[in-house]
Amino acid sequence: MEPYASAVVTTNGTEPQNPLIPTNTNEVGGGKVLDLIFEGLVYYDEKGAVHNGAAESIDTTDSQNYTIKIKPGLKFSNGEPLTAKSFVDAWQYGALLKNAQLSSYFFEPIEGFSYEKDSPLTGLKVVPNETYAGDRKPAAIFQSFTFPKSMPHFQGEEGKLRRAALSYAINRDEITKVIFQGTRTPASDFTSPVIDGWSKDVPGNQVLTYDPAKAKEYWAKADAISKWDGTFKLAYNSDGDYSNPEVDALLKKVAATTDKEAQKADYAKVQEILFADLPAIPLWCSNVVGVKLGWLKPTVGGTLFQAIVRGEAPTVVSLTTVLVLVYIFANLLVDLLYAVLDPRILYEN
């Protein structure tokens, strides 16, 4: 096998919205890159089972307090050791108000979190033997359209009808096959098929089927409430502000129990409510990360490509000069051979 220096890593995706800081990334483009370059505490396998990644163990007796032990011997790419303090410092940075991190809300369940002032996460602490206490729930990402509550014509009953109409108008199967070349799976709920407990039969998910007739019917019903005017624009990485007391209560109930079956049942209830409210339109889930390792043979072209990727300017200049000279001499040789191969051609001083 060729050395790793000759490997080409190719991945499909979209342009990340921000620099690759995990706590400031809340969209798929950046999230996919981060998944490829960072090891999380846990990861999902292809069947949806959760396995420890950087974590050696994650223990809890009440689903409120967690003791997480980090695997020994882990290092960052620069050789610095990865410790429990590394995680705690990163979470503290992500949670502080002054750092304005897009995903700061993930830390809301941890004691000390605040939306109004800079407040450290007092619920996190480093303890001996490379462990730390805190809360960590793995998550899968799916792509969707999200609608802010203040968006004109998308509020109240009119808004529910218009969102349903748009959902029925989307041919997810064709898009995932033709545009994404089978690298996406049409959504059937608000999660992902890799999640343990996932079901394709969530009540209300028929709104995710492609049905142009129903799309027109629902849009007409919305127009009967308030005639559509203006334009409809889609913005990349648009955040919503959905909240439902019943959903919030169910999620708190889930967080307070260790009974996996009870959690799945409550999550299913949450999904039913989400399909009734439809604050976002599920589109599809990724079924590959699109990574391909191609081993290059040791050629001048391959070496030049790797030098460009690594930003090795001296190597790029040297190899480019060599290739230009080869091209010039090849053309000169061809010109000289013309006189030998074709007597009609004469060169004069």
SS3 51: strand
Cβ–Cβ under 8 Å, residues 123 and 111: yes
At residue 139, the pLDDT reads 42
At residue 218, the pLDDT reads 96
At residue 162, the pLDDT reads 93
At residue 294, the pLDDT reads 47
Closest C-alpha to 292, from 10, 13, 35, 3: 10
Residues 6 or more apart from 81 whose CB is under 8 A from it?
74, 75
Closest C-alpha to 36, from 71, 6, 73, 11: 11
Q: Which helix (H) or strand (E) segment is 14 a member of?
A: none
At residue 135, the pLDDT reads 41
At residue 97, the pLDDT reads 95
At residue 197, the pLDDT reads 78
At residue 130, the pLDDT reads 47
Strands (E), 100-227: 125-127, 131-133, 142-146, 184-186
Q: Per-residue pLDDT for the chain (349 aa), expressed as one digit of tens each?
A: 344 555 666 666 778 888 899 999 988 888 888 888 888 898 877 777 788 999 999 888 877 888 899 998 999 988 999 988 999 999 999 999 999 999 998 898 889 999 999 999 998 888 765 454 444 354 466 788 888 778 889 889 999 999 999 999 999 999 988 887 777 889 999 888 877 778 888 999 999 999 999 999 999 999 999 999 888 877 666 677 788 999 999 988 988 888 888 988 999 999 999 999 999 999 988 765 544 444 444 566 666 666 665 556 777 777 788 878 887 877 777 777 766 666 666 656 5
Cβ–Cβ under 8 Å, residues 161 and 220: no
In our burial notation (b when 16+ CB lie closer than 10 A, e otherwise), range 166-200 reads bbbbbebeeebeeebeebbbbbbbbbbbbbeebbe
At residue 349, the pLDDT reads 56
250: phi > 0 → left, psi -120 to 50 → alpha, else beta; which? alpha
What are φ and ψ of residue 71, in 5° steps?
-60, 135
pTM of this prediction exceeds 0.75: no
Residues 6 or more apart from 314 whose CB is under 8 A from it?
none
